[in-house]
Amino acid sequence: MPDSREAAALAREPLVIPEVESSYARRPARWRDVTEAEWRSYAWQWQNRLLRVSDLADVLDLTSEEQSACMRVSSHFSASVSPHYAALVRRECGASCPVRRQAVPSMAEFECREGLMSDPLGEYRHAISGCSTRRYPDRALIYATHECAMRCRHCTRRSRVGLMEQITRESLETAVCGVIEDTRIRDVLISGGDPMSLDNGTLAWLLERLRACSHIDVIRLCTRMICTLPQRFFDRELLDILQRYAPLYVNTQFNHPYEATAEAAEAMALLRSAGCILGNQSVLLRGINDDASVLEPLYRWLLRCGCRPYYLFLCDVAQGTDHFRTPISSGLDVMRGLRGRLSGLGIPHYVIDLPDGYGKVDLCPDSILRCGADGRMVFRNWYGAEVAYTDVALSETSK
């Protein structure tokens, strides 16, 4: 029979998202007369992004501090919020809304801290062309565009996203040729900005060139649009392109249950039907999702949608993001809170992407409490019980 602590742990109710709404049903008064067909249009969503302070103030009732921050941010990283994402802001939460904080500039972005970097991933240092980077022997990243549906305030590439000059076809051609000529490269990430903001023709050209390369095993598309502008994936032409070059690994980013919508679930179903394999890369953000009770229901919903939680990133040391950063210990507490409450399918790798391009390192709670010279070890399990285990002696394994 289970002891009382085990029984209590087993009796715990899972945390689930009670109901996922459509963003159309939540749309602000500014778009009350917009038809559902318009709302489902990628072109309409893109054209009606909130770009000016007056537009943001009209929809979100900006505080005076937020208005000051919006007017002060650099032109290339000013606010950009899709109607879909703006509809997810919970007005009752005020300026602390976890959706709002990811979308609306804050005065905290201008605080300078030692150790913060404009290029925390060392992508310029590891560049192999003007828009491609190689930080590992078998992987390369192609930075395909400066455009995004939304300029997330915790963005690690905020020094590049939104720049006025466009990445040319010639630059992309140079990057692709470099990848094709280097037979060590087996895995290619197409990122940005957001590669899904590319027109269908350019995206198809990129995928065709890479898929024709015999030494490339994996092609990844890194997009947050499934969360911030899922209407992009309602385009049949786009889905046909993705299916033509399947399997494609599509990594997205959901950080909070408020971002779970009917439109996002539909987008993920369409991507799966096109042969895409979905993964989620959350970023650990202070006061937004640095608690297992926030991430558990989000990850349950993602699994239901066929999207596996892949990474939980410690927030990068990017300039302007210090107010989002958490201690490493906060993430370790989150991982302890998830273990045993979620299937292993729902538990991401908690990682830090080391500054200046030194690569990812796994961060794991230490479950080993004690080790004896005789091989006897004591572990702490998922609900806190101490369990003894005797390791196989080295002399036995060498027989």
CA distance 132 to 178: 9
**How far is residue 171 from each of residues 129, 130, 135, 177, 192, measured CA to CA in Å?**
8, 7, 19, 10, 14
Helix axes 169-181, 200-211, angle to 10 degrees: 20
Q: Which residues are catalytic?
A: 135-136, 139, 148, 152, 155, 157, 316, 353, 360
**How far is residue 309 from each of residues 234, 316, 340, measured CA to CA in Å?**
23, 19, 15
